[in-house]
Amino acid sequence: MAHWWSVLLSRLVLLEWNAQDGIEALLPYVMPFLVTFAKKTKYKLQVLTKAAAELSKYMPEKAAEDTSSILRSPMPGAVVAVSVKPGDMVSEGQEICVIEAMKMQNSMIAAKTGKVKAVHCKAGDTVGEGDLLVELE
């Protein structure tokens, strides 16, 4: 029997099963819980080896990035147009730039009202998913 540990709602739960059966053997144990509670709440389930579970307490938590003042590319593509420059005032919902991906043009808009601090792209640039396009103050 292989021992795997699951961290669920800050509780450590021991699951035992024959490792030769593969991960599918865990589904009868995990799915009833997820089906019962998933209708009301989202839970983060992480299945780890015992060693990984013990070491996970030493891993730093990744801080969530404040994305209210920045605009990142949601997809890889080409910048078709940039409608702002540093120092411009933008209002919530105003178009900042246009990215073309798979022959479709996608308008990127400001999430909040503010002053443009920096523009990190120009028309013709190729951008990847998550690339920083514009910063607001």
Q: pTM higher than 0.75 for the full model?
A: no
Q: How many independent structural domains does the chain possess?
A: 2
Do residues 10 and 50 share a domain?
A: yes
Query: Which of 37, 61, 85 is where one domain is finished?
Result: 61
Contacts of 106 (CB under 8 A, 6+ apart): 74, 75, 77, 98, 99, 100
Do residues 50 and 1 share a domain?
A: yes
Q: pLDDT for 27-57, tens place per residue? A: 555 555 554 444 555 556 666 777 877 888 8
Residue 17 neighbours by CB distance under 10 Å? 17
Question: Which of 78, 77, 84 is closest to 119 using CA atoms?
Answer: 84
Structural domain of 119: 70-136
* CATH number, domain with residue 76: 2.40.50.100
Q: pLDDT for 72-121, tens place per residue? A: 999 999 999 999 999 999 999 999 999 999 999 999 999 899 999 999 99
